[in-house]
Structure 1
Amino acid sequence: MSYKAVILIGGPQKGTRFRPLSLEQPKPLFPIAGFPTIQHHIEQLCSKVEGLREILLIGFYQPSEIISFVSQAQRDYSVNIRYLQEFTALGTAGGIYHFRDQILFGRPTAVFIINADVCGDLPLDEMVAFRGTKPEASCIVLTTEATREQSVHYGCVVVDADSNEVMHYVEKPTTFVSTNISCGIYLVTVDLFEQLSSAFDKRSQLALHNDGDSMEPIEAIWFEADIFPNMASTGRFFALHTTRWWSQIKTAAAAVYANRHYLRLYHETHPQRLSKQTDDGPTIVGDVYIHPSATVDASAKIGPNVSIGKTVIVGPGVRLKESIVLEGAVLQDHSCVMHSIIGWNSVVGQWARVEGTPIGPNPNMPFAKLENKPLFKPDGRLNPALTILGCNVQIPRETIVLNSIVLPHKELSGNYKNQIIL
């Protein structure tokens, strides 16, 4: 058995809800628990899928934004990794069809397709085993459980309880369909490419009849709209259900939630990444990742659920909790940062306080519904109320910033609460 994997990374016009963080770095490379988001996918693919031969990243970022990561990943993992650039946004399936010859080169037994903006404890090995029981399957979709209210924001999957065959698929239905939702992770065979070819032919015919009036390119194909609804009840489309942690990463709040869970997974997968309490080091509470190049004063108290990036400086008496501190940031003496993201090269002054509101839901839930809430609550507060500092933000000493978003290159002059600072 041989396998390939495709990670769909999108492009710069995506990830608008992730701003201001995506203004400085492609969203798929944003560090969560100390490592780029898609590196977590690569690690799980390499550790859980025997016979994995190649990982292809497909998107429409400029190669200069991605190639450094690809080169480093090539050195770190014993699998071929390449970036294939779309000429424009081609939807979730259009890039798969466009690069079908490269994906199918070498005749892999099956291909994993993973959306880059999902995260979790992915049961990729279970998907391989499940496929062995369903040789007729063209596609296996990973599903999880949502509440009735949450389900309408996802792809809803109606599954036969006995055979696990997908009987019905609807993307973001207007009324309740099923509490089973797609995780955006698929295991497909070469047969699926016949479906992609048929979808492309239909779009070509529509384009001829519409005289090319559509704003989308002909090759823009969507699994959720063009493929899965037609595949349902064909006897070739199956679902594997998981109760493990899964979430989407649409907003910065979701990144902090994912940070918490990836740190928890390190106990099983990479315990050496978690910081340990030492006699001459800072106080460590719960799960904490500190990059080896960071400097943390012994009197600081860090955790739980904190990631500290490269060359960060954490001064004496600092309190840091439920936060991500990005490369080059400085937290000066006795500052306090909680439920926040501190951007690249930002400075939090002495005795300053940067704080957001704790993020739910219960961390024991299999996934978090965080990304489809409106930006503001009815009372004007940000929703969810995480504090986010873009890059090169300067917070003066003895300043309080609560539940606010600060765009890059700002030097604040006072206290702020429940604001977007432009």
Structure 2
Amino acid sequence: MLKAVILIGGPLKGTRFRPLSLDIPKPLFPVAGLPMIQHHIEACVNVPNLKEILILGYYPTSELTQFVADMVQEYKVNIRYLQEFTALGTAGGLYHFRDQIRSGNPEAFFVLNGDVCADFPLVEMLRFHQEKKASLVTIMATEATRQQSVHYGCIVQDRDTSEVTHYVEKPSTFVSTLINCGVYICSIEIFQTFAAVFNTRQQEYYNDASGNGNRKEAAVIYLEIDVLMPLAGTGRVFALQTSNWWSQLKTAGSAIYANRHYLELYHSRHMDRLAQEDFVGEKEKEKEKEKRCNIIGDVYIHPTATVHTTATLGPNVSIEAGAVIGPGVRIRESIVLSGATILDHSLVLHSIVGRGSHVGQWTRVEGTPCDPNPNKPFAKMDNPPLFNSDGRLNPSITILGCSVKVPSEVILLNSIVLPYKELTRSFKNEIIL
């Protein structure tokens, strides 16, 4: 029997995802029509004999209750949300809820970071982990560029046995181009290692009488630093290198990139989720079907969205529930969230239109894509700071927070608009507070 644990952090995290995380928890932000961690859940339920999925984080329970109920209903698997009393680190929550994870005596459990997106090779990881009898932890690993690798956990691996001989979390100098994907499968014996770390930390906490405030809370344990780094080279940690698509989802810009890849994955698994060229919204179905909206490439349209027959969508567009897309609208490489309205002949490129937002007629909303460099093999998404060294806003996608009103006949370029703002003119490279 197997279990899976999804780590989602809490409201104090995900600040780089603002303003999108101001009105909806980041793990529930829709990517390709599904809340972000529903993609994790789908990957887990496809693993044979996986009986329970535990979601760990410190969001208030009320924010996830409905989502968990919906997932149980849809996938017919036991799913629970366990709320941490405070931020406990990537392994602190696992140790705190050790009894819930160990109940039922699973042979192993998956651990997935909630802010990564991927074509998760969980079945392959399980097979690999079972072959390595000595393995306490198997890490999903992928190749990165030499320059980008230092922003991740770096793995040095024995090429013959796949054993991790050295591990460094975000090193200051180059170590390896093989990086940790934040997806693991652990044997139950790993809890002995967690307990040892916890007990050592507790001793340090009480022995440090200086009272200088630098003492580490014993319950806060980081899987990467406190567990993987000491275990590397002991013959108990292995890495499965995958060539499957993988990316972090740290910023709003990375949501557009993830949206594109998840839509592409639907071709092989959920073709029914992709809009065909004959799509019409529910309200349009009663009318004559002489012409349908024009679909280019991969597009997801929620059944309750209304899209005018003269609109053109795609490639790589997601239209969420209740959105209204008017005549002659053109949308590309964008996500339109629930209840948003885009009026006649407006253009939306490389942007996220927030929930309940309103874009007027003949308006241009455009951002700058921040995709990985296509000319560099293994390049990952860069997560640049909001501002460059000159204090100017770095070019990125345009984001409208929830319930933003954009008037007709204006241009909004490379800008971020916080919720509930009513714009009166064009903006370029600005944050509208």
Structure-1-length-normalised TM-score: 0.97
Cα deviation for residue 380 of structure 1 reads: 5.6
2:283 matched residue in structure 1: none
Does the aligned pair in 1 maintain the 2:148–2:380 contact within 8 Å? Answer: no
1:160 matched residue in structure 2: 158
2:205 aligned to 189, 207, 232, which one?
Answer: 207
Identity %: 57
Does the aligned pair in 2 maintain the 1:253–1:370 contact within 8 Å? Answer: no
In the aligned structure 2, how far is the partner of 1:383 from the partner of 1:4?
42
**3-state SS of the aligned residue for 2:165?**
strand
In the aligned structure 2, how far is the partner of 1:343 from the partner of 1:189?
42
What are the Cα deviations for residues 60-97 of structure 1, in whole angstroms up to 9, with x where unaligned?
A: 00000011100000000021000000000000000000
Does the aligned pair in 1 maintain the 2:208–2:215 contact within 8 Å? Answer: no
1:303 matches 2:298: no
What are the Cα deviations for residues 30-76 of structure 1, in whole angstroms up to 9, with x where unaligned?
A: 000011000000001112x1000000000000000011100000000
Q: What pairs up with 1:242-281 in 2 under 5 angstroms?
A: 242-278=242-278, 280-281=291-292
- Relative to structure 2, which stretch is displaced further, 261-270 or 380-389? 380-389
1:369 matched residue in structure 2: 381
Q: What is the letter of the counterpart of residue 293 of structure 1?
A: T
Q: What pairs up with 1:85-234 in 2 under 5 angstroms?
A: 85-211=83-209, 213-214=213-214, 217-234=217-234
1:284 matches 2:295: yes
Cα deviation for residue 363 of structure 1 reads: 6.7
Cα deviation for residue 367 of structure 1 reads: 6.2
Does the aligned pair in 1 maintain the 2:199–2:218 contact within 8 Å? Answer: no
In the aligned structure 1, how far is the partner of 2:215 from the partner of 2:265?
43
Cα deviation for residue 379 of structure 1 reads: 6.0
In the aligned structure 2, how far is the partner of 1:381 from the partner of 1:40?
35
Q: What is the letter of the counterpart of residue 367 of structure 2?
A: G
Cα deviation for residue 420 of structure 1 reads: 0.6
Does the aligned pair in 2 maintain the 1:243–1:366 contact within 8 Å? Answer: no
Is the alpha carbon distance of 1:384 and 1:181 closer, same or farther for their aligned partners in structure 2, counting shifts above 3 Å? Answer: farther
Cα deviation for residue 415 of structure 1 reads: 0.6
Q: What is the letter of the counterpart of residue 324 of structure 1?
A: I
Does the aligned pair in 2 maintain the 1:253–1:384 contact within 8 Å? Answer: no
In the aligned structure 1, how far is the partner of 2:199 from the partner of 2:34?
40
**3-state SS of the aligned residue for 1:84?**
strand
Does the aligned pair in 1 maintain the 2:370–2:381 contact within 8 Å? Answer: no
Cα deviation for residue 396 of structure 1 reads: 0.3
Does the aligned pair in 1 maintain the 2:307–2:324 contact within 8 Å? Answer: yes
Does the aligned pair in 2 maintain the 1:339–1:357 contact within 8 Å? Answer: yes
Q: What is the letter of the counterpart of residue 419 of structure 2?
A: P
Q: Structure 2 unaligned runs (5+)?
A: 279-289
1:40 matched residue in structure 2: 39
Does the aligned pair in 1 maintain the 2:156–2:175 contact within 8 Å? Answer: yes
2:285 matched residue in structure 1: none
1:356 aligned to 355, 367, 370, which one?
Answer: 367
**3-state SS of the aligned residue for 1:178?**
coil
**3-state SS of the aligned residue for 2:191?**
helix
In the aligned structure 2, how far is the partner of 1:359 from the partner of 1:339?
9
1:391 matched residue in structure 2: 402
1:338 matched residue in structure 2: 349
In the aligned structure 2, how far is the partner of 1:159 from the partner of 1:222?
21
Does the aligned pair in 2 maintain the 1:246–1:367 contact within 8 Å? Answer: no
Cα deviation for residue 358 of structure 1 reads: 2.5
Q: Structure 1 unaligned runs (5+)?
A: none
Runs of 4+ in 1 over 6 A off after TM superposition: none
Q: What is the letter of the counterpart of residue 381 of structure 2?
A: K
In the aligned structure 2, how far is the partner of 1:381 from the partner of 1:246?
30
Give the RMSD, CA atoms, in angstroms.
1.4
Cα deviation for residue 21 of structure 1 reads: 0.4
What are the Cα deviations for residues 163-217 of structure 1, in whole angstroms up to 9, with x where unaligned?
A: 1000001000000000000000000011111110011011101111224634753
In the aligned structure 1, how far is the partner of 2:351 from the partner of 2:45?
31
Q: What is the letter of the counterpart of residue 291 of structure 1?
A: H
**3-state SS of the aligned residue for 1:9?**
strand
**3-state SS of the aligned residue for 2:151?**
coil
Does the aligned pair in 1 maintain the 2:253–2:369 contact within 8 Å? Answer: no
1:421 matches 2:421: no
In the aligned structure 1, how far is the partner of 2:379 from the partner of 2:96?
32
In the aligned structure 2, how far is the partner of 1:161 from the partner of 1:384?
40
2:60 aligned to 59, 62, 85, which one?
Answer: 62
Is the alpha carbon distance of 1:340 and 1:159 closer, same or farther for their aligned partners in structure 2, counting shifts above 3 Å? Answer: same
1:238 matched residue in structure 2: 238
What are the Cα deviations for residues 385-418 of structure 1, in whole angstroms up to 9, with x where unaligned?
A: 1100000100000010000000000001111000
1:326 matches 2:337: yes
Is the alpha carbon distance of 1:255 and 1:414 closer, same or farther for their aligned partners in structure 2, counting shifts above 3 Å? Answer: same
In the aligned structure 2, how far is the partner of 1:55 from the partner of 1:280?
44
In the aligned structure 2, how far is the partner of 1:384 from the partner of 1:161?
40
Structure-2-length-normalised TM-score: 0.94
**3-state SS of the aligned residue for 1:261?**
helix
What are the Cα deviations for residues 238-295 of structure 1, in whole angstroms up to 9, with x where unaligned?
A: 0000011000000000010000000000001100000001263210000000000000
In the aligned structure 1, how far is the partner of 2:161 from the partner of 2:52?
31
